[in-house]
Amino acid sequence: MTTPPALRFEAFDPASLAARAGRIALLAEPGAALDRAARQLDRLSRGALRRLVASRAFAELKPGEALEMGFPAGLSAEAVVVARLPRKADAMTARRAGGAIAQRRGTGDLAVLAGGHPMAAELAFGLALRAYAFADHKTAERPPPGAVSVIVDAPEAVAAAAAPSAALAEAVYFARDLVNEPANVLTTTEFAARLEAMRALGLEVEVLAEEALERLGMRCLLAVAQGSASPARVVAMQWKGAEGAALALVGKGVVFDSGGLSIKPASGMEEMTMDMGGAAVVAGTMRALALRRARAHVVGLVGLVENMPDGRAQRPGDVVRAMKGDTVEVINTDAEGRLVLADLLWYAQERFAPAAVIDLATLTGAIVVALGHENAGLFANDEALAEAVLAAARAEGEGAWRMPLGEGYDAALKSRIADLRNVGGREGGAVIAAQFLQRFVRPGVPWAHLDIAGVTLGKADSALAPKGATGWGVRTLDRLVRNRFERG
């Protein structure tokens, strides 16, 4: 597993500054006084730091961005990174500044001179998130990463403030690793094994094999998996940090989606290793809750399948029976995620009687057409839950946008030969998929559906993640649990 950098929080030692190797980073703002460490660094560099901070280039930076000064005179460091960060910056700006520093981290040691900045812990969190690099399948030798020291006025206090974020960073890394893994490595059984290993953190983990799923009547989920040599698995994770009804998190875990017999175009199919993104977010969130010993009762359910066009694969026109009892006409085998979630949603309610249910899935291309790669689509039957999810997403800087539901969309799901079919037409595809899922939510159960197809895999580097898996949703769900479901 990829692990975040181990951040050391230290007091400033003036005598060591000139001899520090690697890179030094610090915080500044045009027109503001330099702090004690920055003043010493300016003296050592013969005024180069003040000239940089007074430059037009630095003034044109947005808060949270950074410039680099290479091989400064008077210092052993190979570079000085200067991030623009006002003292009254908010948490997200501080995280972006940390991310900007991480992008310029280099391969040696890094010392971040944060002094008495009130957002030093958030800066450290952003640095940790952006330092992620997935290199499990690269064979070239890589030097071990250098040490990262955060130099602050009150090391113990800042370290304590940063501790919950360190657990969250590890959980985001875990989710990113899962999404980045190729499907020949992260099979359904390997995925289940990685989740079973989290028992060591105090999670209760149960793996249901195909025989158990057959007895439960999960024929929709099993139908998706029947064309693959990789067997279906459902994994139930439970964190019992409090008494009372649980929040249920449900994730789509299609480890590879060829589209089945309704096969996808070859171009871009390699990205369908990320179709288990919903399951990765659920797994990452459960890891975060266990690591920080959350005072909440949360259940995480993931359905792990592979959608392949084997001779045994389900066909367009097949009729399958869901665990709920409804029959579904399969019009398109590439609309498989909703079949997996239908059985998982019903199982979550039958077994756990949750206080609320939230499902996450890379469900539709239609949501990408609607919202691009900036926002996940949020659908909900409960206003309070919807607003709580949106508030958590805003607080964590993870984009989410409320989408509609309505009975008028149900007409697209009418089947001539079954209770409903799994797709409608092209219009409103993401909404119709959500309407399908809502059929498997009992009246009175607060439910939200997050379509994360556009936000799971970044097409380019971002402030807090390199190109590839983003881990979108782990921070939002952890924040949601803190805000709404923790007790005591």
Assigned domain for 1 exists: no
pLDDT score for 143? 82
Residue type, 308: M
Residues 134 and 191 occupy one common structural domain: no
Helix, coil or strand: residue 296: coil
Measured CA to CA, the distance from residue 370 to residue 399 in angstroms comes to 13
Measured CA to CA, the distance from residue 174 to residue 157 in angstroms comes to 27
Assigned domain for 2 exists: no
What is the per-residue pLDDT across 21-31, written as a single tens digit (0 to 9) for each? 999 999 999 99
Assigned domain for 59 exists: yes
pLDDT score for 144? 84
What is the residue-wise DSSP string for 154-173? SHHHHHHHHHHHHHHHHHHH
Residues 120 and 234 occupy one common structural domain: no
In order along its 488 residues, the chain shows pLDDT tens digits of 899 999 999 999 999 999 999 999 999 999 999 999 999 999 999 999 999 999 999 999 999 999 999 999 999 999 999 999 999 999 999 999 999 999 999 999 999 999 999 999 999 999 999 999 999 999 988 888 899 999 999 999 999 999 999 999 999 999 999 999 999 999 999 999 999 999 999 999 999 999 999 999 999 999 999 999 999 999 999 999 999 999 999 999 999 999 999 999 999 999 999 999 999 999 999 999 999 999 999 999 999 999 999 999 999 999 999 999 999 999 999 999 999 999 999 999 999 999 999 999 999 999 999 999 999 999 999 999 999 999 999 999 999 999 999 999 999 999 999 999 999 988 999 999 999 999 999 999 999 999 999 999 999 999 999 999 999 999 999 999 999 999 86
Residue 84: strand pairing partners? 28
Instruction: Give CA torsion, residues 290, 291, 292, 298, to 10 deg.
Output: -20
Q: Mean of the per-residue pLDDT values for the chain?
A: 97
Assigned domain for 254 exists: yes
Residues 127 and 176 occupy one common structural domain: no
Residue 237: strand pairing partners? 205, 300
Residues 176 and 292 occupy one common structural domain: yes
Residues 146 and 174 occupy one common structural domain: no
Residues 133 and 180 occupy one common structural domain: no
pLDDT score for 248? 99
**Is 264 considered catalytic here?**
yes
What is the per-residue pLDDT across 254-281, written as a single tens digit (0 to 9) for each? 999 999 999 999 999 999 999 999 999 9
Assigned domain for 283 exists: yes
pLDDT score for 158? 98
Residues 129 and 177 occupy one common structural domain: no
Measured CA to CA, the distance from residue 400 to residue 378 in angstroms comes to 6
- Give the pTM: 0.97
293 alpha-carbon distance from chain centroid: 19
Assigned domain for 21 exists: yes
Report the CATH number at residue 228: 3.40.630.10
Q: What domain range is 413 assigned to?
A: 170-485
Residues 297 and 255 occupy one common structural domain: yes
Beta-carbon contacts of 276 under 8 Å, excluding residues fewer than 6 positions away, are 178, 179, 186, 191, 251, 252, 253, 254, 255, 304, 362
Residues 110 and 198 occupy one common structural domain: no
Question: Last residue of some domain: 128, 153, 178?
Answer: 153
Residues 97 and 12 occupy one common structural domain: yes
Assigned domain for 165 exists: no
Backbone angles phi, psi at 400, to 5 degrees: -145, 145
Assigned domain for 57 exists: yes
Pair 409, 424: CB distance under 8 Å: yes
Catalytic residue among 43, 50, 264, 482: 264
pLDDT score for 487? 86
Catalytic residue among 95, 338, 475, 479: 338
Residues 110 and 254 occupy one common structural domain: no
pLDDT score for 425? 86
pLDDT score for 141? 83
Report the CATH number at residue 127: 3.40.220.10
pLDDT score for 415? 98
Question: Last residue of some domain: 153, 179, 213?
Answer: 153
pLDDT score for 142? 81
Residues 183 and 145 occupy one common structural domain: no
- Count up the domains in the chain and report the number: 2
Would you state the structure tokens that stand for residue 360, as one six-digit string? Answer: 């996450």
pLDDT score for 18? 96
Beta-carbon contacts of 320 under 8 Å, excluding residues fewer than 6 positions away, are 219, 220, 223, 314, 327, 328, 330, 339
